[in-house]
Every structure is written in C-alpha cells, then in structure tokens.
Amino acid sequence: MKKFAVLLTMVVIMLAGLSLVSAQEVDRTGWPETFIIGVYPGDNVEEALAAVEPLRVYLEERLGVRTVLITGTSYNSVIEAMAAGRADAMEVGPFSYVLAAEVAKAEAIAVANYSIVVDRDEVPGYFSLMFTKKGSGIKSIADLEGRSFGFTDPASTSGYLVPATDILLDRQFTDPAQIEEFAKVTFTGNHPNAVLAVANDNVEAAATFDANLPTQAREIGINLCGFNDTGAAQTVVTSEEWPYLSPMTSEEIMAIYDKCPEGSLVVFHQSPLIPETPFAVRGDLPESFKMAVKEALLDVANDEELVKALERYYVDPTEQTGVESIDAIYDSLRDIARLLNIDLRRR
C-alpha cells in the first residue's frame, strides 16, 4: 500500500508538471499587454459597464492579460476605436459587427445567447418590434403613412436596419429615400429613448428590440399589452412573460392588439429572426490569442453563476446553421445593407 501511495504521488506530480509545461508552451507571441473591450453604453454608462464587469474579470483571470472596458458615444464610435487600434474587441450589435468587419477588420469568434438557461443547440436570435400607443390608429406598417416614427440609431440592427427593410419590402419601395417620404422619420438615439418617445407622445410609433420593450415598460411604469409581468426576475424577461421573444403570427399579434386598452403600449409588427450579437475581436490579433478568447467565451456556459451574472453565455453556431464561419451567419445583414444602399466602407 505504501508503494502504491508513493507511485500515485509520483504520477500526480508528473501530471502536474506536464500541465505546467503545456500551459507554458502556449505561444503568447504578440499577445496584447492590455485587452481592451469596447462597449456602447446607451444612456447609462455606469449600468452598462457594471453589466459587462463580470465578463471583464473572468477574461482577465482566464487569459492572464489585463482587461479593460472603454465606452463610445455611439455604435460607430466603438467601431472607429477598433479601426484605430484603440479597442481589441467589441460586442455592440449584429449590424455594427458587419460594419466593423468591413472597416475595422473585426472577426466574430462567438455569438451571445441572452438567456440564463443554457441550450448549446439553440441558434441565438432576436426580433425587431414596431410598437405604438393603443388609440393611435396604427395597426400595420401601411398605417405609418404620414405618421411620426422613431428609429433608434442609424447603425442599430433592430432599431433601424431591419425595421427600415421591413417597411421597404412591405410597401414595395425601390428606393430607401421613399421611407422618409412615407413617414415622418426621426432618430431617438437609443433603445430606451424609443420607448420613452412613444410613451410621452413625442412620436406615434417606434422600433426597438424585443426584450427592451418589457424592460423599459417595467422601469417607467407604463402598461404594455401582452406583457405578463410575474415579478420573478427584475432583469431577465422570459418568453412566458413576453411572447414576442418567440416567433408570432400576425393573427397572434392582432389578437393581443385588439384586447389592448387605450393608452397602453402595444406591438403591431414583428420582424424575421435577427442573428444575435457576436463577440468580435480585431482580426490582426495573434491566432493563439483569438483562440484563447474564444475558448474562454465558450466555457462561460459551464459556469452557472457567471451565466446568471452576465445573463448570457456564448456559442459557436456554425454547425447548427451549416456555414463555414460565424461571420457567414451575418450575410443576411449584408443583404439588408445592399437593399438600403448602405456603403459599409464609408460608415
């Protein structure tokens, strides 16, 4: 027994030594001394940074590289920071990624799934919603003619690019300029402001992403039709509470609309599924560093407490979607750019 114990101890020591050698053999040539992640904070910098802080701490510990967060005043400012080498990574929306891939050589290495229930086979996505205040008379895209409509930011996927495309296709317009002739278009600046603009009667309808509507309705205290606020979670809204997190038929949308009382916020249009936000890094970073970041992100799903803290985890959905790279998942957004005559190289 003593001999066995000695042998077992020797094996453990040898394995530990091999692990140490293996870790030391990782090629860290060219790794940044500081890993800088760009964040677009919207209208609340402290809240946005606090939401990303657990990820910053995790990546710093996992990579062994000092990791910091920087903010920009818009989606484009974060992209410009990456293009200028002032940011190494970003997570600021799918279309912003498409822009960054073109002008800042950004490379998507993982896709966020904004859920606290891990399902590795799920392809992450979300919806753009058009909404109004019941009593406006707006029940469809056609009803937006001559009415005031709020987009969020010109680089926002769910706040501009997708809803603008839905209007273009629904009205069979051939020129994006026709949208501004069709409705009185304005930009609210960000997603929370889009909800406030409708709630305060500054615009008659607006667009935002699916989870933002119930979150803002809860914060500002306005009734939102279809939102069954169970109070079970103050930050994460579930599909049981908010059905628009899943695909809805036009009949289902109108059934909720028709029962909605006057003065309440109500959805009248849901977009097709939008691929979820990728975590993107500068393409010129060393391959060993990019792989280390990707492995760390994919391992978030194994840490239940971290998933709860971040309210998301990360996946590589290339196998489920049948594409060769994560970047190819966003080709549908490049099609939208062509429809809207957006020159990605000039943004």
Helix, strand, coil share (%) of the chain residues, nearest 5 = 45, 15, 35
pTM greater than the 0.95 cutoff:
no
Over its length of 347 residues, how does the chain's per-residue pLDDT go in tens digits?
444 344 434 433 344 444 333 344 678 999 999 999 999 887 788 888 999 999 999 999 999 999 999 998 888 899 999 999 999 999 988 888 999 999 999 999 999 998 888 988 888 999 999 999 999 999 999 999 999 999 998 878 899 999 999 999 999 999 999 999 999 999 999 999 999 999 999 999 999 999 999 999 999 999 999 999 877 655 678 888 999 999 999 999 999 999 999 999 999 999 999 999 999 999 999 999 999 999 999 999 999 999 999 999 999 999 999 999 999 999 999 999 899 988 766 54
Kindly give the pairing relationship between strand 128-133 and strand 278-282.
Answer: unpaired
What residues have CB less than 8 Å from 310, skipping those under 6 apart?
51, 54, 55, 300
Return the CATH number of 125-274, one of 3.30.360.10, 3.90.1280.10, 3.20.20.70, 3.40.190.10: 3.40.190.10
Q: Where exactly does CATH 3.40.190.10 map onto the chain?
A: 30-122+276-346, 125-274
CATH, range 30-122+276-346: 3.40.190.10
Contact 188, 151 (CB under 8 A): yes
What pLDDT is attached to residue 239? Answer: 85
The residues pairing with 130 across neighbouring beta strands, listed in sequence order, are 207, 269
